[in-house]
Structure formats: structure tokens, C-alpha cells
A and B are shown apart, each in its own frame.
Chain A
Amino acid sequence: MIRRILVVEDSDATRSMMVAALDEPEKREVFEAASGFEALRLLPRHVFDAIVTDVNMPDINGLELIGFLKNHPQYRSIPVLVVSTEVAAEDVERAMALGSREYVRKPFTPDQIRSAVDRLFAASPR
């Protein structure tokens, strides 16, 4: 079963690292969005099994994106993983309060992000 993951992150370096860590043929398919807008554009076009998002992004930030998802009947149940630096600790707490399931601190290892995503799936079997 291939899981579809949407990665939302404005830093190209970090996003490419997340994609490299998560992309695995036959297992996980990764879609990339460089902003909250791009994420909103991709949402109606695919069915995602998980969303991995940065918090601090210009225009529509991660918290605003999560707020949107949790208010929308169709996207409410997609598990969300928040990735952020500890500088934004306060914002991460807010993201968890909004209903994110997991948090990975930046900087991270590919292993950390893979296992956090696996935990999301273990907690919400399809």
C-alpha cells in the first residue's frame, strides 16, 4: 500500500531533505509544497494520508494551515506532523493544541522524520 504524503516547507534545503528521507517507491509517495498556498492548491487534487508541515512560513503559516485542515470535514482526519525549530517552541505547542499528532524538531535526521511518519500511520491505520 502506497501512502501519499504532502510535505509543506518553504526552505528548499529542508524540503529536499524531507523528500529524500520519505520518498520510497512502493511505500511512500511524496508531494511537495513550498508554501501554504501551494498546499491548498494540491489538497483538492489528491488524497493524502499524512501532512508534514513547517510552522514558520510567510503568508499562510503552518498553524493557519492546520487550523484550516481541522475545520474542514474532508481533511480533518488527515494526521499532521509538525516540523519546526525549538526557537518556535511556543508555536509548536499551539500546533499540538490544534490537533497535530507528532512533532519533529529541526534539525532532524532522515530516520527521525521517517519513524515519526510511521508512527502517524501506526496510530491511524487505513
Chain B
Amino acid sequence: MRSDRIDFAAEAADRLEEIGAVLRLDRAPRIGEINELFRAVHSLKGLAGLKGFGRFAHALHEAESLLDAVRLSRTPWSEAVRSGLDRFFRAFEEGMTRAAADGNDEAFSPETAIAMLSVGAGPGAFAPPPSPLSAALDLPPRTLSCLSEYEESRLRVHLAAGTPIYTIDVGFPLDTFETTLKALGAALNAAGEWIATLPQAAGFTAERLAVQLLAASFSPPSGLPEGAVVRRITRAAPPGAAEEPARAPAGRTVRLEADRLEALLNEAEETRARFLRFAGDVARWEHLLAPSDRAMAARLRQRAELSLSRLTRQAAAIRTIPISFLADRLRRAAERVVEASGKKAVFRIVGGDSEIDRTLADDLADPLLHLLRNAIDHGIEPPAERSAAGKPEAGTVTMMVRSRNSRLLISIGDDGRGIDLEAVVRRARVLGWIAPGQEPTEAQAHEFLFRPGFSTASAISEISGRGVGLDLVAERVAARHGEVRVVSSAGAGTRFEIEIANSQAVFDAMIVLEEGRPYAFPLAAIGRVERERDDGKAVALIRALDGSDPVPGQRRTTMILRDGSAISVAKVLRQEMIVVRAVETADPAPFLIGASQGRGEEVILVLDPKRLLRHARAAAPAGSAS
């Protein structure tokens, strides 16, 4: 077995050498080099798995995933990516040295290494204007014109990586087509990437269909069905056309007054709404035009509609920023706090690509910073104490962000000592918050933490003592109609969760009518719509809202949710992209997501169908079935 380890060490050293060479470049690596990096990590992972080094393989898998995202242009290459990988492989190399002595990888902590890789999503890359694909691929224009934007981007990625592209012409019986093709596609994906499927008009019958597949692969596709014709379509690169990496510029930001931004966004929305009304009128008159003018008018109308839609969506996107912007600020703060505390801790971010409203990001920055400081300062134990408790010396603080419809859930958790509930209760007694002889519940004790005037740290630390306390965290969050909760278990850690309405969200919705008023539901929640279904299982919207019943004999429409439950409405009006704002009332209904401006003056209430049904069930008197 000794020789196995030596093999692994020698092989791995070679791969690490290749990896280091790319990471130490004084420029952004070319896509080809990123692919090399990816392949080196991939083979290293395979090697580690083969030799039974599960911890190494687990950590390498994460590095491979990150490189895969970079390779597929999903994550732009940045200094953060480079330094993260650099630190990861340094830790890995240390682990290897140790493993060579121990004969196993048990001293290696994959979590610690993986934490070094966490990179917030960077700003979107601005791609240079692309050169025509016909220059690089020997394909008729007719075929190229059938490719979608996505398929084209995949071809470009592979062309940039130097992966040869092939066409595969193959025919199948139409009745077994899907299964046969999927199997072939899986084989192509194993060897490279299956990019497009172009059905061929020539020779098409009710029994048989021929398709042309486009696939990228380093070796010519093999194991194909009989009669398949493979052709390599990548042209040789013209001399001097060396590939240049599509370099993402640094994320530049500009400052601008919130009022001006708001005015611009409202104007964009208003313009789109007006145009849609106008276009509706125009469409009604188009039949009066001569046929040739009619087609042109329709096309002009459609083009204008497309641009305006893009304008609204982009305008709405200005209002939000990726949470990674906030996360980067927190990460820098975390590094400073860790340094000053004399503890060891890593900061991880999960869900950094969520979008958050700018003003919300501003309002949450301080509370999150405070929670983060608390976690490091009071949560994470000193290294010696952690070792004694059988924990890794370095603690982990994780910020997790999830967004659902227009709700945002942000948590900051640590794997530290947990909250000392007894100390909390003692302090509350001193403050006179507990009546003599009473024993507060855990929830009550947690609630004390957020009251003004509460602080358990006997010596207020240099770091956390300053700035806001938990009472201010609660106040800030409440000011945005959010909630803050705490989950803690002694010895295992503490997690603070903030749930808040992301003041604005844009999503597709189904607009329905009930009792003459419009309501909206997120389209994603609805499975299908059926007319005139009445098996008594659907809950009438009006019943869920105010307990009354719809007019008998009405022809109603049923929306069936993904879980099979159903809501009936008087009418389905339309599907529409809506801009949803949080409703600022003291006590919003639990199923209310927000409100959206309708096409006229009316306000459309946006409802969460699942919560609505839950609310209806809770409100229904026992024994009442509908």
C-alpha cells in the first residue's frame, strides 16, 4: 500500500504544479487555461477517490464545481476566485504532507478548505460583441439561424476552449424517439456536451425522423447507432486570431440619489403600461390596413413592445443589488474582527447570488454586521476551548440567504458555544423583567435578548461593545416589517434569522378576478388551470378571503397548485409580469405577498396561494368540508 501512496503523492504533486502555474499567472487565465485547471482538479479528485482519500475528494469536488462555473462563464474569474483557490490548494498541500506521514487523510478538514472557496457572485460580465459563428463553424446559415441564444453561447464557450464541435446526423423511429435520443444525448454529455437537436425536414414521415445533433467533444463521438454520420465542423482558427479571454471589468458602481432612481423606475413602468394600452388599441385597428402594411405595423408594434419590456426589467434590476455586495463588506469586517479577537474563524456565504433591494441592503448592513460581530466575539470559543470540546480550532460563521417570492430570509449562524440561557435569565431577574417565582420559557428568554438595556457580556468587548446591540437589530428589522428569531443549542452554536419583505420583486403572475376585484398569484405556484371543474375540493377565493360563498350557479375557473390543492375564482384574466411592492400595514394578512399597480388605477393584491389555503383551513369551523 505504501507504493500506492507514493504514486498518489507523485501524481498529485504534478497536478498541483500545473494548478499553481495557472494560479500564479500575473494576468487573468485564458479559458483554455481555466479548462486545464478544471481538468487537473478533476483528475486529482478522481485520483484521491481511487486511493480512498474521501476527505480530499470531497474538498476537491467543491473546487471543481467552482472551476466548472468559471469555465461555463457562470462565475466570472476574479481576484477573489484566484486567491480563494490559492488558499484552498495551500491547505490541500499541507493536508497531503500530513497524509503522506499518517497514511490517511483524517487530519484534513474538508470544510475548512471549502470555506476558503466561497466567493460571492460577481457582477455580470460584459461580453465583447461576438464574432459571427459562421467564421468558426462549417455550418449552413440556415442551421445557424435555428440556434437559440443559449445554444450559441455554449458553442462559443466550447470554441473558446478549443473543444472540437461535431454534427451527428441520425434517424430514429418516431415512436421510440425520445428514449433513444435521450440515451444518445447522455453518452454525448459523458464525453463532452450535447448542445442542440435540429429536426430535419428531409425524409420526415409519420414513422421516422432524422435529427442533426450538435455536440462538443475532445474526441470524435463514438458508440453511435448504426447509420449515424459524424462530421467535425470546427474550422481551423485564422492566423493571428489568438483567443483573448473575455475579461470581466471590475464591478464598478455609481452613487445616485434614491429619489431620482425611483422617479426613473416609475416613469419606465408608466411608459410600459401606457404603451400596452396603446398597442392593444392599435392591434384592434390593424385589420383595416392593407395586408403588406399590416405585417409591418405588427412587427413595429412587437419590436417596441419587446424593447419596452426589456427596459422595465432592466430598470427594476437597478433597484436591486446582488447580496454578494453586502456579503463582501461583511467578509472584510469579519476578517478584522477575527484578527482583533485572537480567535480562528472562517466566514462562509451561501446564496450570495440572491438579489436584494438597495435600500434594504443599506438598512440591513448594520444589523448584520452586529450579528456577525456577536457570532465571532461571543459565539465562537477561543481555539484551546474548541479543541478541548472536540471541535476544529477554527470556528465557522455562515451567512445564508434565501429568497422566496418577495420574502427574504437571511441568517447568520456560528458553530460556537451557544447562548447560555441561565445567564440570560439571571440577568433578566436583575433587571426586574421576571416576576419573583416565575420561570420563563426558552422562547421568553430569547425574547429578552432583543430588549433594550440587555447585555450579558460581563466585560463588554472592545469589538462588539460599540455600535448597535440586539435591541437595535430588532428595531431596525421591525422598521422594515421584518422579524428576527434566534435558534441556539448549548455547545453547538447559535443562529439568528431575519425574515423580511424584499421591498420589491418582479415576477410572472396569474391575474384573476373575484367579486369584481383583481388578485394576483405567483405563476410559479400554479400547476394548471381548468374551466368548470367542480368536484368540491377547490376552495373559493372569496371564501378564503372573507368566509363568504360565491354566487351559486356561477361558471368558475379552478387553479390547481403543484401539490394538487385548488383554488377557484370567478375568472382568470391574464398572465403578466408584475412589480410587487411590500404592503406597509401594521398587521398584514399572513398570505399577502404585496401589492401591484394594475393597468388602470386599481391596486392588485398579490397572494401566496399555499398560505391562503392554510389560512382558510385554520379559519374554517370544524366539520365544515369546503
Contacts and interface: CB of A to CB of B under 8 A. Distances in A.
A64 B146 contact: yes
B573 interface: yes
Contacts of A94: 145, 147-149
B283 A86 contact: no
Contact of A107 (B204, B310, B576): B576
B523 A119 contact: no
A68 B313 contact: no
B250 interface: no
Interface string A23-57: 00000000000011100110011000000000110
Contacts, number: 141
Interface in A54-74: 55-56, 59-61, 63-69, 71-73
A96 B313 CA distance: 22
Given A16-B530, A94-B145, A109 B574 contact: yes
Contacts of A55: 148
A112 B539 CA distance: 29
A12 B559 CA distance: 12
A118 to B, nearest CB: 8
Contacts of B260: none
Interface stretch (B1-9, B25-33, B174-182, B419-427): B174-182
Interface in B161-212: 174-175, 177-178, 181, 196-202, 204-206, 209
B298 A40 contact: no
A89 B575 contact: no
B121 interface: no
Main secondary structure of the interface of A (DSSP, over half): helix
A1 interface: no
B384 to A, nearest CB: 54
A24 to B, nearest CB: 12
A15 B196 CA distance: 24
B204 A72 contact: yes
Interface residues of A, number: 58
A59 B528 CA distance: 22
A20 B209 contact: no
A64 B310 contact: no
Contact of B142 (A12, A35, A67, A90): A67
Contacts of A35: 178
B509 interface: yes
Contact of A105 (B148, B175, B305): B305
A36 B199 contact: yes
A77 interface: no
A61 B199 CA distance: 10
A94 to B, nearest CB: 7
Contact of A123 (B283, B294, B575): B294
Contact of A96 (B146, B299, B528): B299
B306 A92 contact: yes
A55 B150 CA distance: 12
B146 A37 contact: no
In this complex, which of A20, A67, A87 has the most chain B Cβ atoms within 10 angstroms of its Cβ?
A67
B475 interface: no
Contacts of B528: 12-13, 15-16
B147 to A, nearest CB: 7
B527 interface: yes
A61 B148 contact: yes
Contacts of B178: 35, 37, 59
A123 B291 CA distance: 7
B626 interface: no
Contacts of A44: 204-206
Interface in B474-531: 508-510, 523, 526-531
Contact of B526 (A13, A37, A68, A109): A13
Contacts of A2: none
A101 interface: yes
B13 interface: no
- The 4 A-B pairs with the shortest beta carbon distances in the complex, nearest first, are A107-B575, A67-B146, A86-B309, A109-B574
18 contacts: A20-B572, A37-B177, A41-B177, A44-B206, A59-B178, A59-B181, A61-B148, A64-B199, A65-B199, A67-B143, A68-B204, A72-B201, A86-B577, A107-B509, A109-B573, A109-B574, A110-B572, A123-B291
Interface of B: 142-143, 145-149, 151, 174-175, 177-178, 181, 196-202, 204-206, 209, 280, 283-284, 286-287, 291, 294-295, 298-299, 302, 305-306, 309-310, 313, 508-510, 523, 526-531, 572-577
Interface of A: 12-17, 20, 35-37, 40-41, 44-45, 55-56, 59-61, 63-69, 71-73, 75, 85-94, 96-98, 101-103, 105-112, 115, 119, 122-123
Given A68-B201, A107-B576, A123-B291, 12 more contacts: A17-B529, A20-B572, A40-B174, A40-B199, A67-B142, A72-B204, A86-B309, A89-B309, A107-B508, A107-B509, A109-B575, A112-B280
